[in-house]
Amino acid sequence: MKFKFFVVFVCLVCCLLPGMSLAQDKVVVIPLDSGNCDCNEIPTVTSAGGRVWMDRNLGAYRVAQSIDDYRAYGWMYQWGRLADGHELRSSPTTTTISIGDVPGHGDFITNSSSPFDWRDGQNDNLWQGVSGTNNPCPAGFRLPTETEWEAEIASWSSNNAAGAFASPLKLVAAGFRSNSDGAFSGVGINGYYWSSTVISRNACYMHTNLSDAYTYNSNRSRGYNVRCIKD
């Protein structure tokens, strides 16, 4: 049986494993089969646009208390990958490109050659909807599309990092992880959030900084945050 891992940081956690207890900021690792688990207590928030989202980034310990709240940063996913350990901020790097959808290890794959993907032979369907091959979100949730991110930006009080944090989503500026060497950049200043939308060889993301908030596209081997939206 093929397994994937979904990690939830919550005070109230669904799908609690036998013998585990709940505690503030508890790290709960839930092994799931490829069809996702049946979770009923995912912490959510309703945005100004009326959509239901998870209330924190995947991998975050808590809802953000400031733009640069490191406990709310969460993990950095390469576009289309499972939560296999590569998303951990301390994960090691490798230059060995994966030949399939599941690399079989938890290393962050660096790639400085076009098309700058962690996978040899691009697959546009890995994060498409709740049934996406490698959807890292809990059951009933998925990556937002570029259009959904644009709708959220339009609802903020200001189109910048301050507006992103002031919104119900409490988005943080966790920076990004480089596809060339795995180093972190822009931490505490810039925010990068993946979408499910692909464009040519790249994938679209939502970016915030001190003066702007907008969507753009990037190579898929960069590490960005993930915020899940309810389908």
Q: Looking at the chain, how many residues does it have?
A: 231
Walk along the chain (231 residues) in steps of 10 and give the mean pLDDT of each run: 40 32 33 40 93 98 98 98 97 98 98 97 97 96 98 97 98 99 98 98 98 98 99 94
Dihedral pair phi/psi, residue 43, rounded to 5° = -70, 130
* Distance (Å, whole) CA 174 – CA 179: 16
- The confidence score (pLDDT) of residue 41 equals 80
CA torsion 183-189-190-193 (nearest 10°) is 90
Closest CA to 185 of 196, 194, 173, 171: 173
The pTM for the full model equals 0.84
